[in-house]
């Protein structure tokens, strides 16, 4: 990894969950890290740990990637560095029927889950193209493979990420720049296991460990796979939606599954009652 994508990597959403695991695995491979998230306390703790454990250099950048003006701050830190890898992982979902969530919250989520990926991919893509090597890994979601009721805004944003990454993979296929989209399903993170409104851990799907997920994603990037759907169960569901149920059937199936874990105040009927 260091020879192919080093010496520096940027990881967004690095303070916890999937992003934190990316930081651990990349540091274990010898890559220096720029760690980006809103919680600088957790980032500094992680940076200190990685420096001590793996003898790598780290830089901490406190940023809210839903802020459209985030890029100049990140550029100030990264412009002097030889960035060879970008893991665009930061994301957040406000679950519920579209009309049960304030539009301002949906717009903020859309900026984080879609626009931030575009800004990072475009800026660092130009830099990697100039050095004719490197990698961009965008983190999508299985919700983006199929319209998902009660996660419509998040699913739409992730579908955009899927399309963006796969298009860039083709456009850069004759260069030394790899672009892959990692597509996680339910993953054992605090975002799922401690969520109190939507009980996502009750969905009929096994929770994948962050360690396994990140390993799959990095392997896919090294092979320059455009779309990496992580895990056999997720690939099976994707195949069933596309080949057996179709878009309408898949939407109905996911809608019924999500209704079982949705609190009444996050359904349109519940909000109106």
CA distances from 156 to 123, 136, 179, 200, 261 (A): 23, 21, 20, 19, 20
Known catalytic residue: 59?
A: no
What pLDDT is stored for residue 251 in this prediction? 67
pLDDT band for position 273 (cuts 50, 70, 90): very low
Q: How high does pLDDT run on average in the chain? A: 89
Rounded to a whole number of angstroms, the CA Rg of the chain reads 18
3-state secondary structure of 85: strand
What are 199-204's contacts with CB under 8 Å, separation 24+?
199/261, 200/261, 202/260, 202/261, 203/257, 203/261, 204/257
What pLDDT is stored for residue 148 in this prediction? 87
3-state secondary structure of 56: coil
**Does the pLDDT of residue 269 top 70, yes or no?**
no
Sign of CA dihedral 172, 178, 179, 185: positive
Choice among 44, 53, 59, 154 that is catalytic: 154
Residue 54, number of CB atoms within 10 A of its CB: 18
- pLDDT tens track for 158-170: 999 999 999 999 9
Known catalytic residue: 158?
A: yes
Query: Which residues constitute the domain of residue 53?
Result: 2-272
pLDDT band for position 272 (cuts 50, 70, 90): very low
- pLDDT tens track for 210-266: 999 999 999 999 999 999 999 887 778 777 777 776 767 776 767 777 777 777 777
Domain count along the chain: 1
Give the range among 65-69, 191-195, 245-249 with minimum mean pLDDT: 191-195
- pLDDT tens track for 81-99: 999 999 999 999 888 899 9
Choice among 59, 62, 150, 158 that is catalytic: 158
**Does the pLDDT of residue 196 top 60, yes or no?**
no
Tokens standing for residue 54? 């793996």
What is the average pLDDT across 104-117?
96
What is the average pLDDT across 179-207?
73
The residues that bridge with 86 in the sheet, in sequence order, are 10, 136
128: domain CATH number is: 3.40.50.720
- The sheet carrying 134-139 orders its strands as 58-62, 32-37, 8-12, 83-88, 134-139, 177-183, 227-229
């Amino acid at each position: 990894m260091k020879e192919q994508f080093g010496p520096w990597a940027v990881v967004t959403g690095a303070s916890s969950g999937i992003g934190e695991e990316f930081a651990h695995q990349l540091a274990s491979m010898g890559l220096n890290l720029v760690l980006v998230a809103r919680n600088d306390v957790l980032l500094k703790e992680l940076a200190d740990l990685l420096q001590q454990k793996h003898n790598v250099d780290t830089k901490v950048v406190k940023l809210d990637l839903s802020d459209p003006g985030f890029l100049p701050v990140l550029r100030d830190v990264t412009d002097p560095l030889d960035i060879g890898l970008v893991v665009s992982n930061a994301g957040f979902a406000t679950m519920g029927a579209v009309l049960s969530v304030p539009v301002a919250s949906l717009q903020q989520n859309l900026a984080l889950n879609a626009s931030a990926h575009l800004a990072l991919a475009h800026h660092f893509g130009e830099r990697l193209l100039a050095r004719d090597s490197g990698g961009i890994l965008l983190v999508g979601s299985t919700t983006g493979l199929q319209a998902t009721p009660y996660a419509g805004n998040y699913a739409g944003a992730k579908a955009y990420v899927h399309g963006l990454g796969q298009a860039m993979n083709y456009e850069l296929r004759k260069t030394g720049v790899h672009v892959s989209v990692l597509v996680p399903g339910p993953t054992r993170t605090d975002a799922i296991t401690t969520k109190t409104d939507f009980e996502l851990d009750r969905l009929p799907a096994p929770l994948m460990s962050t360690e396994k997920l990140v390993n799959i994603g990095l392997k896919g990037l090294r092979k320059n796979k455009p779309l990496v759907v992580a895990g056999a169960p997720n690939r099976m569901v994707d195949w069933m939606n596309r080949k057996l149920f179709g878009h309408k059937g898949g939407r109905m199936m996911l809608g019924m599954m999500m209704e079982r874990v949705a609190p009444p105040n996050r359904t349109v009927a519940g909000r109106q009652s």
